[in-house]
Amino acid sequence: MTVVLLISGSTRSASTNSAALRTVRAIAPGGVETTWYDGLIDLPAFSPDDDGTGHPSVVALREQLSRADAVLLCTPEYAGTLPGSFKNLLDWTVGTGDLYEKPTAFLIVAAPGRGEGAAMTLTSVLGYVGADVDPQTCVRLPVARDAVGPDGWSPPPNSAPARSKRSNAWFGTRLASETAAANEALAVPV
Ligand SMILES: Cc1cc2nc3c(=O)[nH]c(=O)nc-3n(C[C@H](O)[C@H](O)[C@H](O)COP(=O)(O)O)c2cc1C
């Protein structure tokens, strides 16, 4: 069983990034177990003075990272770069090398032409921490705000609020096909 830790860079309740990851979790193939990181908002601001002191939220993050065989990130762009809270999470991993040689990928769900700053910064930071990033696994898959249903999934357009299974099927198909197409043609390299 391969354990993939899903980390959303958004703390917004109706987040498009979290919706994309929830759907990934629902459509994960056999042999893949996903785990969900939900501690972003509780992480203290990084301080080198506290790096070895074992703050519970930091310990929990590191344990989840340690248990994961791979990590999938999905983050919005704020002010041309990563949200501060998400960069703060990444800063907590620098000294302890939690992402070093860890297979890591990311999705960008921003509209076409947006989110470039987040993708560039994330690529740079992941390179700095020595994560094992295959660029072909990092793809763009736009998810509009109004595509996120009340259940936190991305329902089919023009439908009544979808039940989770229908949402999963639709988004999963789209995710699979667009990811495959992106990988094949490298049409939307991040
Ligand atoms: C403080 C703030 C700054 C933002 N800055 C940018 C930006 O520089 N570039 C961009 O494309 N979108 C920017 N956005 C838009 C967000 O990336 C967009 O709303 C995204 O959907 C948020 O992700 P979420 O739905 O997962 O919360 C910004 C949003 C906020 C709240």
21-30 confidence digits (pLDDT tens) = 998 888 888 8
pTM confidence score: 0.85
Assess if residue 99 is contained within a domain. yes
Give the domain CATH number at 154.
3.40.50.360
Sign of the Cα pseudo-torsion (105, 110, 111, 116, in order): negative
- Residue 147 pLDDT grade (very low, low, confident, very high; cuts 50, 70, 90): confident
Atom 14 in ligand 1: which residue has the minimum CA distance? 78
Range of the domain at 115: 2-185
Instruction: Report the separation in Å between the CA atom of 77 and the middle of ligand 1, taken as the mean of its atom positions.
Output: 5
> What dihedral angle (degrees, nearest 10) is formed by the CA atoms of 98, 104, 105, 110?
0
Output DSSP code: residue 3.
E
Count: domains in the chain: 1
Q: What is the mean pLDDT of the chain?
A: 84
Q: Which of 76, 162, 78, 136 is nearest to 111 (CA)?
A: 76
The whole-number pLDDT of residue 169 equals: 47
Assess if residue 155 is contained within a domain. yes
The mean per-residue pLDDT over the stretch 138-157 comes to 76
Read off the tokens for 143. 């998810």
Assess if residue 190 is contained within a domain. no
Ligand 1 lining (C-beta closer than 6 Å):
10, 12, 15-17, 76-80, 110, 114-115, 117
- Residue 173 pLDDT grade (very low, low, confident, very high; cuts 50, 70, 90): low
The whole-number pLDDT of residue 148 equals: 84
